């Protein structure tokens, strides 16, 4: 169930949900707008030949009130808002329509897990043919909060917990098991299902 402005205001007032700083203009009918921070990361192309999933990615940091993102380019940014999501709530990060209409795509894998605490790192892509000047303090995205059927058994305590500025990919820290092939042919799996 998506949480309404009335519910969000009550949760903010009680401290059950934290969004800081917050002002009345940020609270929309079914979301909370977030503003662009002043810390950015750009992939350091000159120090890497290829990005791999098992090695650390090198970034160049930029701090300041604005940055220009060239056409067909990507960078990481952060929200000004620090959030704390309760263990029984999750959130979707959505770009604002007005931002999307100028060709700026906003993502953060689209999801904030229950239990997350920190600022949101945003992946920004300029899909237009012109450079876009980004300014800190402008409303850039919105958080849509959803109530879960119960508290998460294992709330988020991962590698991005408590981030205070833009954080690059830490995928190289993953401990996934790699499966090269299926141990059981797909047709056999379907027969037993």
In-domain check, residue 184: no
Determine contact, residues 41/59, Cβ cutoff 8 Å: yes
In-domain check, residue 157: yes
In-domain check, residue 182: no
In-domain check, residue 187: no
- What CA–CA distance (Å, rounded) separates 169 from 6? 35
Identify the pLDDT of residue 105.
94
Identify the pLDDT of residue 49.
84
* 29 three-class SS: coil
Identify the pLDDT of residue 54.
87
Q: CA nearest 80: which of 127, 133, 134?
A: 134
Q: Which two tokens stand for residue 173?
A: 């820290």
Identify the pLDDT of residue 186.
58
Length of the chain: 193
pLDDT tens-place string over residues 130-146? 999 999 999 999 999 99
Please give the backbone phi and psi of residue 68, each rounded to the nearest 5 degrees, phi first.
Answer: -105, 125
Measured at the alpha carbon of residue 122, what is the angle toward residues 118 and 127, in degrees to the nearest 5? 175
Domain range for residue 73? 5-176
Q: Give 93's pLDDT tier (boundaries 50, 70, 90).
A: very high
Marked catalytic residue, from 123, 135, 153, 183? 123
Q: What is the CATH number of the domain that holds 149?
A: 2.70.40.10
Position 62 pLDDT exceeds 80: yes
> What is the number of structural domains in the chain?
1
Is 188 annotated in the active site?
no
In-domain check, residue 13: yes
Measured at the alpha carbon of residue 173, what is the angle toward residues 171 and 178, in degrees to the nearest 5? 80
In-domain check, residue 70: yes
Position 191 pLDDT exceeds 80: no
In-domain check, residue 145: yes
Measured at the alpha carbon of residue 90, what is the angle toward residues 84 and 91, in degrees to the nearest 5? 85
Q: Which two tokens stand for residue 128?
A: 């237009």
Q: Tell me the Cα Rg of the chain.
A: 19
86: DSSP letter:
-
- What CA–CA distance (Å, rounded) separates 103 from 129? 9
């Amino acid at each position: 169930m998506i949480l309404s402005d009335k519910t969000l205001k009550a949760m903010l007032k009680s401290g059950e949900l934290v969004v800081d700083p917050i002002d009345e203009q940020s609270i929309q009918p079914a979301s909370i707008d977030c503003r662009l921070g002043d810390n950015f990361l750009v992939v350091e192309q000159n120090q890497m030949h290829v990005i791999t999933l098992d090695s650390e990615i090198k970034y160049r940091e930029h701090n300041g009130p604005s940055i220009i993102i060239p056409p067909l380019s990507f960078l990481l940014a952060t929200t000004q808002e620090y959030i704390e999501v309760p263990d029984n709530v999750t959130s979707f990060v959505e770009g604002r329509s007005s931002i999307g209409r100028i060709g700026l795509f906003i993502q953060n894998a689209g999801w904030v897990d229950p239990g997350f605490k920190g600022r949101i790192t945003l992946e920004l892509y300029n899909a237009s043919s012109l450079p876009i000047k980004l300014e800190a303090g402008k409303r850039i995205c919105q958080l849509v909060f959803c109530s879960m059927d119960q508290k998460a058994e294992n709330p988020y305590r991962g590698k991005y917990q408590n981030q205070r500025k833009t954080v690059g990919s830490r995928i190289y820290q993953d401990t996934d098991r790699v499966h090269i092939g299926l141990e059981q042919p797909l047709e056999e799996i379907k027969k037993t299902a």
